[in-house]
Amino acid sequence: MYAGIDVSATRGFDVAVLDDDRRVALLAKARDLDAAGLIIRGLPPETVVAVDAPPAPSRGFAGAGKGYRVAEQELHRVGVSLYPVPSSTEASPAWMRAGFALYEVLEKAGFPPFLEGAARRGVSIEVYPHLTYRVLTGDARGRIPKLEWSRAALRRKVAGLTRDATQDALDAIAAAYTAWTFANDRWVGYGDPREGVIVAPRSDARDEAVPPGPDQLSLGIEATPRAATADETIPRQTPFAQRVMRYVARIPPGRVATYGDVARACGTPTGARAVGTLVARRSFEMPSHRLVDATGRPSPAYPGGPERQLERLAAEGIAIANGRVDLNLHRWREQT
DNA sequence: CGTCTGACTGCCC
DNA sequence: TGGGCAGCCAGAC
């Protein structure tokens, strides 16, 4: 099961649950934390719970002492802004404090916050419905009213939407859908694993529609994607880009591949450089730290610096010698 | 459509 | 080893 929770200080918690067919199985409103806890404790242990709120105050890893979270910085770079999380509970707005408390309830119920590593069930994740809508529609909202925009984004992704769903309910459903992408290998994590990541659907999840059901909402409007500019990317998907992203996504933790490996695997044997340029633009959409050059060195332009890339590799158990990884030991080639 | 720009590579000292 | 250099290819304008 996949649960999504929308947090509001004054309106309480909206909870949505999707089944494996992405059908809305439950849509409930919990007035307070106790009521939410009741629902949470009823969830199967292998559920992924997505929450529209940060799990804890910022640890300030980003922005040279500015105190931002890395996730906020990274999202800003792709043109998505969100409410910055203060570094202390006291300084946080009420809805955020409600969120912190909710994560505690979740942890006690067996859904500890997901920090890093491979996606797994039985965890809670942080999501941002606005970002999910944006990935799904492929564009910023523009002049479309928020409620319509949200519905259009979810329309083909989730079965069983009701006509009268409120914005809070839609946000909870968007969160639950994002939990589904997380558990089904279609997700991206923005941020630093040490302070937690914000999970969003990968942009190629856009293509996969759920089969429409009889009670499916039909809106008659579509959010029309327009060509993205360099600054507000969520870039479009070319076949080459798709192949590269899918391939990189398959590199297991603890292994690496070279740009040339990826190019060859994607049918463009001499396109290593093109792989590099692509990855540079969308590094947050794939485990790009697992890409090294043909001599085993990290990428000079890795976000946070090449040292950061090596740290991430080391965290996966890869030995680093002389600032490079031993390809004979760690190079991954497809086929078991 | 040409032109330009890279998180690349292989080859030659 | 390590640096210089010329190809290379997809994407952005």
CA A59 / C1′ B6 distance in Å? 33
Considering all nucleic acid strands, name the nucleotide whose C1' atom is nearest to the C-alpha of residue A282: B7
Mean pLDDT of chain A: 84
The residue that minimises its CA distance to C1' of B6 is A277
SS3 per-residue string spanning A273-303: HHHHHHHHHCHHHCCHHHEECCCCCCCCCCC
By DSSP bridging, strand A320-321 and strand A324-325 are: antiparallel
Q: What share of chain A is helix, strand, coil (3-state, %, to 5)?
A: 35, 15, 50
- Residue A218 pLDDT class (50, 70, 90 cuts): very low
- Phi, psi (rounded to 5 degrees) for A294: -65, -15
Q: What is the pLDDT of residue A143?
A: 65
Considering all nucleic acid strands, name the nucleotide whose C1' atom is nearest to the C-alpha of residue A297: B7
Considering all nucleic acid strands, name the nucleotide whose C1' atom is nearest to the C-alpha of residue A309: B7
CA A177 / C1′ B3 distance in Å? 43
Q: What is the pLDDT of residue A76?
A: 72
Hey, what amino acid is at A19? D
User: Which helix (DSSP H) or strand (DSSP E) does residue A25 occupy?
Assistant: strand A24-30
Task: Give chain C positions with protein CB within 7 A.
Answer: 7-13
Considering all nucleic acid strands, name the nucleotide whose C1' atom is nearest to the C-alpha of residue A231: C12
Please check the confidence at residue A293 and state whether its pLDDT lies above 70: yes
- Among A34-48, A94-108, A304-318, name the one with the lowest average pLDDT: A304-318
Chain A window 256-285, residues with Cβ within 7 A of nucleic strand B: 258-261, 272-277, 279-280, 283
More confident: A296 or A223: A296
Interatomic CA distance for residues A305 and A311, integer angstroms: 10
Length of chain A: 336
Q: What is the pLDDT of residue A65?
A: 53
More confident: A148 or A324: A324
CA A90 / C1′ B5 distance in Å? 47
Does the global pTM surpass 0.75? no
Token pair listed for A287: 């485990």
| Any strand B atom closer than 7 Å to A73 CB | no
More confident: A142 or A291: A291
Token pair listed for A309: 């890339």
CA A156 / C1′ C11 distance in Å? 29
CB of A213 closer than 8 Å to CB of A23: yes
Interatomic CA distance for residues A210 and A264, integer angstroms: 33
- Residue A276 pLDDT class (50, 70, 90 cuts): very high
- Give the model confidence (pLDDT) of A122-172 as tens digits: 999 999 999 999 888 776 676 677 888 898 889 889 998 887 889 999 999
Q: What is the pLDDT of residue A172?
A: 97
Token pair listed for A54: 């940060």
More confident: A28 or A74: A28
CA A271 / C1′ B10 distance in Å? 13
Q: What is the pLDDT of residue A216?
A: 29
The residue that minimises its CA distance to C1' of C12 is A230
Considering all nucleic acid strands, name the nucleotide whose C1' atom is nearest to the C-alpha of residue A239: C10
| Any strand B atom closer than 7 Å to A313 CB | no
Considering all nucleic acid strands, name the nucleotide whose C1' atom is nearest to the C-alpha of residue A233: C12
Task: Give chain B positions with protein CB within 7 A.
Answer: 5-10
CB of A142 closer than 8 Å to CB of A17: no
CB of A197 closer than 8 Å to CB of A51: no
CA A234 / C1′ C4 distance in Å? 37
Considering all nucleic acid strands, name the nucleotide whose C1' atom is nearest to the C-alpha of residue A295: B9
